[in-house]
Structure 1
Amino acid sequence: MIRTYFPETWIWELAPVGESGRAEVHGSAPDTITEWNAGAFCMGPSGFGISPPTSLRAFQPFFVELTLPYSVVRGESFTLKASVFNYLKHCIKVQTTLLPSQELELEPCADCQYSSCLCAEESKTFYWNLKASNLGEVNVTVKTEALDTQDLCNNEFPIVPKQGRSDTVVKPLLVQPGGVLEEKSHSSLLCCQAGEEHPKTEEISLKVPENILKDSERAYATVLGDLMGTAMQNLDRLLAMPYGCGEQNMVLFAPNIFILEYLTKTHQLTPEIQSKAKRFLESGYQRQLTYKRNDGSYSAFGQSDKEGNTWLTAFVEKSFNKARPYIFIDESHLSHSFSLLKKIRNKNGCFRSVGRLFNNAMKGGIDDETSLSAYVTMALLEVGVSVQDPVVADAVSCLRKAAKDVSSVYTQALLAYTFTLSNDTELREMLLAKLEEKAKGSYTALPYWYRAPSAEVELTSYVLLALLSGPNKDLGKASEIVNWLSKQQNPYGGFSSTQDTVVALQALAEYAEATFSDKGDVTVTVTSKTGFHQQFHVDQTNRLLLQKASLPDIPGEYSLSATGSGCVYVQTVLRYNIPPPRSDATFSVRVETEPDKCPQDPLKVLKLSVTAQ
């Protein structure tokens, strides 16, 4: 018997139950020697029912079980353990063999024995020292069989089972290159129009450094028919189960909402995605309430902090309001936080910075009274607080006075979006004009402001939100910004840090919704000078399908071309491993126990001292 299938979960599926009240689900038990516990529940018009649990034992009296690591580094020595079990009533003599493989190198062992007597209820473990020579998934195959021999085992002749004389197990082992993973991606939004004489083209150059680890380079190209497609293809990363402190929790909570909003508005939301996102939002909501303070504010660690944080409280207020269409949000929490924000204002109407953030990078470029007030005002306007509300009106008045003297590009972008929401058209146009002047080149040449990359993405996203939220959506200029933003995305649909990912996804979702079309037919061709040719076809039937092809030539030069009508999102990802960088930092670690030797009698207390210097 050859066993290869070892899942942790066997059956998880829906079964329709007819009027008879009975249903049968057929399947073959996996190869795992174990006991499977099964349960079922049923929902119907008359209520909800749960069945009592039952179990199935998958067993054979003579078998081998492998113990091996999940992954190893190429060239690393590791030990493979094979334990053979005999649950027969008589003794057997077994021979256990590791089948040869070109991907595995067996280290010689002069004293190792791979045959043994096993009497009833006994087991024996055999060992091999191996090295993996090839990267990727390598199959490890071990066979054990009962020998037909006249040699005595425990003063009796060993038997040979009539059934199950041998057992063979095949398990995969992941072999990794080691070192440090480097990942580079190039993204493009290619838009075509029917009847164009020339296709949209782009040249891609895949280059690797000289010190890469052998055979670690790999690359692939993906094509999607939707701007938000990469984010949707990585829901397990973007719709991650919220966790951590009050700041981390919200940074993971917010992107869920933007993806749901986009899918809902474009009628692409499936029951599976909706159910998954709802579970994550509910979990994040309940967890965030544990970081709420008695005064209505939020902080990294709730009541254990000295005071709540203004920025985080506004972020929570905004996110909870936006989540209301999808999950239940208690109105009292929203009004409580809004009351707190009313209290932390200066006499000029702007908001006062209170509390501290555990990770200041999460709030992006907000670092003074004006940028903080713009963010809080923006958050309140986004969730529907009227511009005539005294709190918002006073804050907008304060921001108007400060706007003309603001020199920070980030604050100008944030103010441009805030004044867009407050219908201050004159100030909005003035700030957008200033931002246009400070851009490095035109939008067509990829707008570039003098900030760190994450701040670049964030402030550019605020400009995009301002353009899309105005009385007349400037889709021409917005499309040029989106083309630049799309090139900054990582392979998972995010960006370089936390807050820029939150703001950029919000802006991209707004643009994707404004430009969504249920028509389009584009053909993308990827070619290289060495003869590689791969074609992808995208239309409305497969716009959310991730199409992927490996790129064989590394280093290499590739050409992308798109023809047809519509837009496609094309991404090229290059991964390779390099040796870890050398560190000149030195330190020593000393571990001492008291007592230094184990006494004969069992110890109730052992003192362990670890000293690092």
Structure 2
Amino acid sequence: LTQISFELSVGTATEMVTVEAASVAVETTMSSVALVNGQNVATLAKLSPGVANIVTKSAAMSTPRLRQDFPETMLWEPALVTDQRGRARLDFKLADNITTWKLTAVGSTRSGELGRAEEDLRAFQPFFVEHDPPRILTQGDEISYPLVLRNYLDKPQLLKASMKPEAWFSMLGPAEVPVHVQPGDAAHALFLYRALSSVTNGKQQVSAANSDVSDAAQKPVDVHPFGRPLSVTSADVIDQNGALTARIPENVIPGSLHARVKIYPNLLAHVVENLEAGLEKPNGCGEQTISSTYASLLVAELYAKSDPKPAIALKAQRYLVAGYERLLRYQAESGGFSYWGHGEAADIALTGYALAFLDHAATLTSVDDGVFQAAEQWVLQQQGLDGAWRGHWDKNDKDAMLLTAYMAETLAALKRKEAAKPDARRAGLERALAFLAAHRDLIDEPYIAASYALAAKATENEKAHSDLLDWLRKNAHEQNGGAYWILERNTPFYGWGRTGQLESTALSLRALVSDTNHSEADRALIRKGLLFLLRNEDKDGMWYCGQTTVHVLKTLLAMCSSGSNETGGKLSVRVNGKGATVLELPPTQTVVAPLETDISALMAAGDNRIELDSTTQGMMSVQLVADSYVPWESNIAVTSKPEANATSTLRFSVEYSITKLTTGDNVECRVRAERLGYRGYGMMLGEVGLPPGAEVDRESLEHALQGNYSVYRYDVEPDRVILYMWPEAGGSVFSFRFRPRFGMSAETAPSVLYDYYNPESSVTLRPRHFDVTQSQEN
């Protein structure tokens, strides 16, 4: 047992204190943190990750096991409670990484006194294999992989290095090679292999051993077909029974089709699904940080009164705290929140969004009063004397209606205590509502009418509320049994097109649901609107982008009833006339994730029919998701189908300076992204494909950001660089560098440009082929 002790000296709530950390005794790979006295943690012994017995005082070597647990964060425990003596104990398993961990402990008393300790925890063994293969490959890729062997022993080692065969790849050379490693040095074992078949989290295991020392490591690898990814979805709401249909392309690449049916026993299942789905989307700006965390907030709220709390509730709470801490990075000195947090000016709509999130989160976790009050004060300072808030592009009172309605609805819903001036919020809200009332005849968007209606309801203005609901009823559109509301311009967060429709529909439904006296016609309209929302859910369980998804989830929660918790029954699934499975449905009011069943084996190219039949009555939503790959077209770029009456298109190009080279050579990658036309101003995301295992020159990316004011942030993924862009007139043009780490004959990932707030507007560039010769120096 590894025992690590900290002594936390507490001070006042506003004072950072000096902390003394204490000591360790090493026995096994299970580690423990205890608040007891001991020696200095700086004397921490070297831990051997993933071993059964570590080095003893007599220096006898250990017998290792397979290392395969390589997390980026080994442990996060946000709620460790001490006993009356101020002591607590936490056991955790040491991961398999050979690295130096940063170990941080933060403590606070009930009165708010704080203490903090931070020390290094070094995990090390004197001989090991450094296994860092390409994480993502394409079928047909050929790789010359140099496995690194590091020897920190005091004598040379002659070892046999090997790569364990797996079904997803074939060796193009020997699977075992002899390697000689000098003391205090490193050597390479070269393995040549070809990716044969698609696999998710395929195993790639390597080892090196002789009679004295050995090590083995395993990493996951994904392989996908050489083709364009394509998703077909179909969704509906069924009452006891129903059917879904889907057409699979005739040219689907054999073996690439993965189809599944998702069943949502109740509306809460959509919220639970987004706990993870939202975090898998880009979250590099302030708005995305809030949106990706909102589902965690909603799930934590669902379980707020549960005791004990299930694992999903604890996970939601962790995600909520982490999201709140990330959000603080985007607060400007003015008090408002900005999109990028780089010292840029705060944004009115985003600060309103942050206020709504902080107000909601404060009921579930600790939120700094100063953060909230500074943001609210800044928002109120941006309000005009006429009561309106005006965005950068608002030229007149009609333009200002949308942002003002959004801010009025936000302020009206806040429950947290007001800013320094007691009546400031109420006065600002009254001026905003007066502006909206004075310009009632300018309302031409459901987004405005619904936001205004919700603010009127919150302030008990029943006449305005009733009048605005009438406007929404008259302006609803119906199609295929569903109902929706159209948005003609951008939302305050630059949503347009399909996402604009979804946000307007979600807001309009929430406004209609807020009326306590529903007529039969209203209930029918609400059901049709719900059908439209559920039919437009994407394959990941979201509604295209985070902002839109949050609007929909809030509406779904507003529509949840607190009826009896009836027995769920059974649901049978048939595909193309053949029985697929029978699922047990949970009780109707149980908070659960969607049920999912794989039907890939029963699906085929062409038309498919999925029939669902429940033993009990009751509405539930169902969705079919069929992911596949189709061959790349001969043309380089694939552009999304433009929306009706669209006034903008995207232009995207990625050029590599060289595609035949030697490992260690630099590749210059030149990127151009442009939006043609005015529609859809706002953030675009560009994904620039990289060859397998490429090492990106981050300094060149930083230089690109500094020299190009329309590129705000980047993320480096295993097979691509994600760029967060806000192109001005003329678009964005910039370059960065990368270099291949090993030899290959392989494809890059495809490069993609899309409108973040309307992902259906996109351009996809087919992969480029790289031939890289392994340098003799490697």
Distance 1:322 1:221, change over 3 A: same
Q: Are 2:272 and 1:232 aligned?
A: yes
Question: 1:133 aligns to what?
Answer: 196
Relative distance call for 1:223 and 1:301 in structure 2 (3 A) is closer
Distance apart, 1:387 and its partner CA: 13
Name the SS for the 2:478 alignment partner: coil
Code of the residue aligned with 1:75 in structure 2: it is: G
Q: How big is each residue's C-alpha offset from its partner over 1:10-45, in whole Å with a ceiling of 9 and x where there is no partner? A: 985999999999989798x88778899999999999
Aligned to 1:527: 574
Q: CA deviation at 1:241?
A: 11
Give, in angstroms, the shift of residue 446 of structure 1.
0.4
- AA partner of residue 448 (structure 1): Y
Q: Is the 8 A contact 1:93 1:118 kept in 2?
A: yes
What is the identity, as a one-letter code, of the residue corresponding to 2:445?
S
Alpha-carbon distance, 1:576 to partner: 2.0
Change in 2 beyond 3 A, CA 1:52/1:309:
closer
Give me the whole-angstrom Cα distance separating, in 2, the residues matched to 1:498 and 1:377.
22
Name which of 486, 493, 511 aligns with 1:466: 511
Give the corresponding residue for 1:201: 242
Kindly tell me: are residues 226 and 90 of structure 1, through their superposed partners in 2, closer, same or farther at Cα, counting changes over 3 Å? same
Distance change >3 Å, CA 329–CA 11, structure 1 → 2: closer
Contact map agreement 2:484 2:501 (CA 8 A) in 1: yes
Residue 84 (structure 2) pairs with residue 6 (structure 1): no
Larger mean Cα displacement after TM superposition, 413-422 or 117-126: 117-126
How does 1:132-531 map onto structure 2 within 5 Å? Answer: 132-136=195-199, 137-142=201-206, 161=211, 171-191=219-239, 199-208=240-249, 210=251, 212-238=252-278, 244-252=284-292, 254-264=294-304, 270=310, 272-273=314-315, 275-288=317-330, 290-293=331-334, 297-300=336-339, 304-305=343-344, 308-326=346-364, 327-330=366-369, 333-334=372-373, 337-338=376-377, 341=380, 344-347=383-386, 350-355=387-392, 368-383=399-414, 389-441=426-478, 445-451=481-487, 452-472=497-517, 477-512=525-560, 514-515=561-562, 517-529=564-576, 531=578
Shift of residue 184 of structure 1? 3.7
Given that residues 84 and 125 in structure 1 are in contact (C-alpha distance below 8 angstroms), is that contact kept between their aligned partners in structure 2? yes
Q: Give the number of equivalent residue pairs.
A: 554
CA distance in 2 between partners of 1:406 and 1:393 (Å): 18
Query: 8 Å contact 1:140–1:170 — kept in the other structure?
Result: yes
> CA contact under 8 A between 1:346 and 1:352: conserved in structure 2?
no
Q: State how far apart, in whole Å, the 1-side matches of 2:99 and 2:506 are.
A: 53
Q: Structure 2 regions of 5+ residues with no counterpart? A: 1-62, 488-496, 638-650, 659-702, 708-732, 736-778
Q: How far did residue 245 of structure 1 move?
A: 4.6
Q: Distance in 2 between matches of 1:255 and 1:572?
A: 22
* Matched letter for residue 105 of structure 1: S
* Aligned-partner SS, 1:441: strand
Structure-2 change in CA distance of 1:251 and 1:525 (3 Å): same
Residue pair 1:34, 1:59 contacting (<8 A) in 2 also: no
Residue type of the partner of 1:204? Answer: T
The 8 Å contact of residues 68 and 79 in structure 1, kept in 2 or not, is answered as: no
Structure number with greater CO (CA < 8 Å, separation at least 6) is 1
Judge conservation of contact 1:202–1:560 (CA < 8 Å) in 2.
yes
SS of the counterpart of 1:471? coil
| Paired letter, 1:439 | A
- In 1, distance between residues paired with 2:281 and 2:655? 38
Offset from partner CA, 1:446-479 (integer Å, 9 cap, x none): 0133442111111111111112222335655434
Q: Deviations over 1:275-327 (max 9, x none)?
A: 31441353145334x3251xx55444679556x54433433333333333223
Greater Rg over alpha carbons, structure? 1
Write out aligned runs for 1:28-177 (5 A): 66-83=131-148, 94-98=159-163, 100-107=165-172, 114-115=177-178, 124-136=187-199, 137-142=201-206, 161=211, 171-177=219-225
Cα distance in 2 between the residues matched to 1:341 and 1:183? 45
Q: Distance in 1 between matches of 2:424 and 2:187?
A: 77
Q: CA deviation at 1:417?
A: 3.2
Q: Secondary structure at the match of 1:75?
A: coil
Instruction: Give the whole-Å Cα distance in 1 for the aligned partners of 2:176 and 2:616.
Output: 67
Structure 1 residue 536: Cα displacement? 1.1
Alignment check: 8 A CA contact 2:157 2:181 kept = yes
Offset at 1:76?
0.8
Q: Distance in 2 between matches of 1:430 and 1:108?
A: 77
Corresponding position of 1:601: none
Alignment of 1:566-581 (within 5 A): 566-578=618-630, 579=632
Find the aligned partners of 1:470 and 1:488 in 2 and give their Cα distance: 25
Between the aligned partners of 1:304 and 1:24, the Cα distance in structure 2 is 39
Bigger helix fraction: 1
Distance 1:535 1:53 in 2: 53
User: Which range is displaced more, 326-335 or 173-182?
Assistant: 326-335
SS of the residue corresponding to residue 450 of structure 2 reads helix
CA drift at 1:133 = 0.6
Instruction: Measure how far apart 1:411 and its partner are.
Output: 2.8
Look up the match of 1:361: none
Tell me, in whole angstroms, the C-alpha distance in 1 between the residues paired with 2:485 and 2:70: 50
Report which stretch shifted further, 422-431 or 221-230: 422-431
Report the more deviating stretch, 215-224 or 168-177.
168-177
Does the CA-based 8 Å contact 1:64-1:83 persist in structure 2?
yes
SS at match of 2:255: coil
Please state how far the C-alpha of 1:260 moved relative to its aligned partner: 3.8
1:539 corresponds to: 586
Deviates more, 1:309-318 or 1:265-274: 265-274
CA distance in 2, matches of 1:214, 1:321: 51
Work out the CA distance in 2 between the residues paired with 1:247 and 1:72: 32
Equivalents in 2 of 1:54, 1:467: separation in Å?
56
Q: Is the 8 A contact 1:239 1:255 kept in 2?
A: no
Q: CA deviation at 1:544?
A: 0.9
| TM-score normalised per structure 2 | 0.58
- Residue 269 of structure 1: CA displacement? 6.3
- TM-score for the superposition, normalised by structure 1: 0.72
Percent of paired sites with the same residue: 16
AA paired with 1:551?
I
CA distance in 2, matches of 1:48, 1:381: 35
**Contact kept? 1:448, 1:456, Cα under 8 Å:** yes
Give the partner amino acid of 1:408. Answer: E
Structure 1 residues 244 and 50, CA gap change in structure 2 (3 angstroms): closer
Separation in structure 2 between the aligned mates of residue 413 and residue 51 of structure 1, nearest angstrom? 50
AA at the equivalent of 1:314: G
Q: Once the two structures are superposed, what CA deviation does each residue of 1:553-576 show, in whole Å capped at 9, x if it has no partner?
A: 243332122231444443322212
Per the TM alignment, residue 77 of structure 1 is displaced from its structure 2 partner at its CA by 1.1
CA distance in 2, matches of 1:35, 1:344: 50
Moved more, 166-175 or 389-398: 166-175
- Counterpart pick for 2:636 among 548, 564, 582: 582
